[in-house]
A and B are shown apart, each in its own frame.
Chain A
């Protein structure tokens, strides 16, 4: 995937201009939609489907349907994902089994799409479910296709019906008709008919496939489609729908790195369910098709989606509003801060969360140096304070600080640093809150953690405070004496951070931590 870069990355950069805004403007949406369009085209989704899709996304992104827990980029991603899953179909589709007599399954598709291999896999799967499948060799065109199916049948341990030698000899329609009576006579309950590969444009062969279909009247006609197919999926799928009117789709070669946009195209154009995903050359490499997995594969959004889920779970809008009110009314205390730290914990470890951010790969080294324990330490210090101290840090004189340091296993310097930072941060947050930030609930550090984009609001405000770098240096010096300090992990990003998204993300993180702790 290296060639294209994931959509997550693209959206991140497309939306970097949104940092100072809380809501999506039509221009922002258009820019984002362009990126999505490109990503879908690179994933080989058919152009018509892409146009339709981006139209819907645009409409929804501009609507009032806005989730406050998410920043604009995440909102768009969520809309995109929901629309993708909607097209791909919510539930996993099933094969249709006949009420009486053998269930007949006919396979059709282009040359080399993987029909014969799939026939073997399906036979093996059905056998393991207690069925008695019969493989029927109706590919009489390709040299030695009959042999191949015979070998596959042997591997799967199922019976085969192959009265004709193939290689151009024999009539597929006759073989198909005889196979059904053979199955009835020999008590096979499923018949899997492997047909010759054919191009959508080959009228003669398509007529043959239709003749096979009309003769045996199958319960399922499965269209086997190579996941690597490009825009031609449209023409091919339509040709096969007109030709044999398939009832379901099998997506093959999904073990490769194709995005599989064809899945979206076929669903969007024919509205037939995708039933199986074929994922390897072994006969056991067959899975039911999961629409949600495919959705994230097509757009490579997996990481961002996990993050959104976690953010939504942990984010309690009410709580955030309370915090914002407290900040505004100057009652934000260390115990509120402790609550927030705990809420943040609900989202999982900081490290794993950071690693999920787009572009985080580059900061892996810095991540390694980030000490998860710093949060533990902060928590320990606050917990060693009395409720009165937490509410009113001004009470903290020298002896109280010494007691807290001892109680939390930290040094007085650490306690001092924490109190200083808290006071400065509280003051700053107050200013910000009173200044009427567009998205006050977002001020709570918790939901902010995974989304540096919206948090980038702070650096702007903070930048206006000239004492900032000095403060940072002082802290680092002070903290260096004791434990692994806040600055040590993230300080790396601070030096040369300008411009690079990963480092600016890091910078934002750092400020956030600093501000809070």
Chain B
């Protein structure tokens, strides 16, 4: 089942890239996708297939919308800091805790943190994420976790866990 879904995803990407339904192109696509799946299928995270469930898929759409909103906000934030003459930054590395367990969810959390206002994930050790924050507003770990991680954690929990 997992392999079949991988095959389907890769085949859709191939068809979109070639944008034709001639039988030669499709045949080459099937061969290439089978080879790719044979050699690289194992490194694909196991939990990814769970997304193809209507409820999870709905939360994925919500997540993408929330994510895009924060990305736009992050850009205006950076533009404000960079174009200001006095560079209003107060940087530092903080440590936050995450509840997420699966690799896929953690990957998405780290990437979302990097693209959202003022934060850049640096390393993941155990349950703790190290995050570079351009403008530290509080030095209390629980409040940092509240601000940085909670935006996405509950949504990602519904999608991938």
Query: Does A pair with B?
Result: no
Q: Which residues of B contact A (CB under 8 A)?
A: none
